[in-house]
A and B are shown apart, each in its own frame.
Chain A
Amino acid sequence: MTTTTVTTPAGVTSVELTDDGFFVDPSVWTEDMVPELAAREGIATVTDGHWQVVRFMRSEFLTKGTGPSVRALGKTSGVSVKELYELFPKGPAKIAARIAGIPKPKGCI
């Protein structure tokens, strides 16, 4: 576990992250953290497409308790799997989950 700080217009927030970079406590996340969290994942400009996916991940987590897999994301978010990889080249489910401040999506067993 590591602790980091995220700077937003509202001020500086201390955030605990798991070893692989996911929020330990999703409730400390706010939307205005997105630009800085995205920048850390190598996304310099947060486009409407990024926002659509990040908000979708967040709402899926809040209703279902886990973020969706890439394939489920492609079927339900309105963004195709191909486009998802264009938006998040290093892995949509993982990277978007980090930016959306939710736990690592549960893989299937």
Chain B
Amino acid sequence: MTHRIVILGGGTGGTLTANRLRRRYTPEEAQIVVVDQDDRHVYQPGLLFVPFGLTHTEDIVRPRGRQLKDGITYRQSPIDFVDIEQNQVFLSDGSTLPYDLLVIATGATLVPEETEGLTGPGWMEKVFTFYTPEGSAALEAALATFDGGRVVVNVVDMPIKCPVAPLEFCFLADWYFTERKIRDKVQLTYVTPLDNAFTKPVAAQQLAGMLAEKHIELVTEFNTGEVDGVEGKLVSYDGREVPFDLAVVIPAHGGAAYVGRSEGLGDELNFIPTDRRTLQSHARPNVFVIGDAAAVPTSKAGSVTHFEGDVLVENIVHFLAGEELEPVFDGHANCFIETGFHKALLIDFNYETEPLTGHFPSTVGLPLLKESRLNHLGKLMFQWFYWHTLLPGRDIPGVGSAMPSSGKTPVSASSPTEHTS
């Protein structure tokens, strides 16, 4: 019998899952179909660098179908909905795809329209986001002619993709305006709904310290209710205001819209409730989830998706063979944090362990939670690994799926391990 495997989403998670599965099964054993609504696979970590002229959108976008191995069918169509009772995907072009096993890899979507005024007057004129190729390119043009004033970086609500990226934007903006010799004319402010610079206590303290060192003002517990692009101000639900001449806003995120149209599949934000250890959905045993689409308590980040890939494919193989799943995904995340001036930090953490100091992947390796040029080079090199190793579904030498703990310095037991807000 040939298993019919349908993978929704041709981004990081969908592509690496398809390629890994193609290697595990012959075409007689499994038919693999990947669905996406467009043919633009964006290397999303690159979006951060576009506004500062350090890369260009055409250098970080490639066709989706070309990242898939031979023997994988690529279908380009928006998804209407999934019928989990009938095991069928309904595409917007009117056709249906029946499946034995479904993988949801449709990621997170920006929902700027949920915030009053955000996409109103001033949007893409003095209110921008760098979370889309169009937004980051428009912001590059706006920054190039910016000659002083108040720049505000605002996270509207959690969760967001790559939760360190807005902080990296602040650090790079500090460097960028310094290079342009107008740093003294620019007031930089980071406005977050969290009660500190970041979610995890040890890293949050370190990052808050770096904001202060770089003279970037930190405004916390700010729940943005309105963005006024005419007056140039953010207004919180509790009535506080932060004025700006240029706003860089990270809009609220949700899961893909079709999830909301699929009975019994997603939660109120259209993310998919998922077993955090096996990556099987709560909705149906034959539906698995990878990457940002999953409602699991770890970061929405490419590194997490990469580490999930290993566990997901093993569990799909177990499931199709009628075997028990392995509850082994540990929530491992690993993020380079660009800090400007050719340096970067590295953080490494999982469900249980917050980011700590030390070295990665073992006592000899990249410094953790500490600025270094080596980490900056690591971040730059990563794009090559992304296209050539991660998407094809090969392992990166020395970097396994589970979080390594050798090389890490434990913190005093008094600090909480899980952030809550």
Interface residues, chain A, with chain B CB atoms under 8 Å away: 68-72, 75-76, 81-82, 84-85, 89-91, 103-109
Contact = CB atoms under 8 A, between A and B. Distances in A.
Contacts of A69: 157-158
B381 to A, nearest CB: 26
A72 B199 CA distance: 19
Contacts of A72: 267-269
A101 B237 CA distance: 24
B379 interface: no
B223 to A, nearest CB: 6
Contacts of A68: 268
Max chain A C-beta neighbours (<10 A), residue from B221, B238, B252, B418: B238
B376 interface: no
B223 A70 contact: yes
B299 interface: yes
Interface of B: 114, 157-159, 163, 194, 199-200, 221, 223, 225, 237-238, 252, 267-269, 297-299, 418-421
A68 B271 CA distance: 14
Max chain B C-beta neighbours (<10 A), residue from A70, A84, A103: A70
A90 B238 contact: yes
Nearest to A105: B420
A104 B418 CA distance: 11
B217 to A, nearest CB: 21
A8 to B, nearest CB: 27
A91 B221 contact: yes
A103 B419 CA distance: 12
Contacts of A107: 158, 194, 199, 419-421
Contact of B225 (A81, A89, A106): A81
B238 A91 contact: yes
B79 to A, nearest CB: 21
Given A71-B252, A82-B225, A108 B159 contact: yes
